[in-house]
Amino acid sequence: MQKDLETKFLSDFEQNQNIAHKICRVYTTNQSAHNDLFQEITIQLWKNYPKFRGDSKFSTWMYRVALNTAISLYRKSTKTIKTEDISEIAYKIKATDYDNTEEVQLKALYKAIHKLNDIDKALIFLYLEDKPYKEISETLGISSVNARVKMNRAKDKLKNILKP
């Protein structure tokens, strides 16, 4: 019984599959979406084929199922983010090589900072946070002059660590 149903469905579908392609063309904008919708229509037709009573022509029933499938998917797609096929906008993309120089320099800087003592690390951290010397001195409990002197020494230490 299942084999007869399958054979009958395949025969009817093959004779009328252009209906599904026409609907796909109306509801999609690229080949990938067309293929997805065609597959979904085919699945829905197969799932609902046992309910087809033959009261109308197969093509009429197929139009109804295909349109309902396309419309329901279209409604779902309006709730999702619209994307474009990359082939349609590829000419707009300017290819540049990734420059990781800054990333490498930052890693080297942090690696060098880890080699400093705790006070120097704190000084450099506050300096990199653009804190004024007055605030640095208050935070560390030292005089403003002492903060400047220690900062210059910490910078010198970093320069020596970073020299190749």
Q: Does pTM top 0.75 for this prediction?
A: no
The pLDDT value recorded for residue 71 is: 84
Q: Which domains does the chain have, with CATH numbers?
A: 2-81 (1.10.1740.10), 111-162 (1.10.10)
What are the tens digits of pLDDT across the range 115-148? 888 888 888 888 888 888 888 888 888 999 999 9
Of 71, 69, 157, 154, residue with least CA distance to 120: 154
What are the tens digits of pLDDT across the range 61-80? 988 898 889 888 877 766 65
What amino acid is encoded at 29 in this protein? T
Answer yes or no: is pLDDT of 82 > 90: no
pLDDT averaged over the chain? 84
User: Burial letters for 29-42: b for 16+ Cβ neighbours within 10 Å, e otherwise?
Assistant: eeeebbeebbebbe
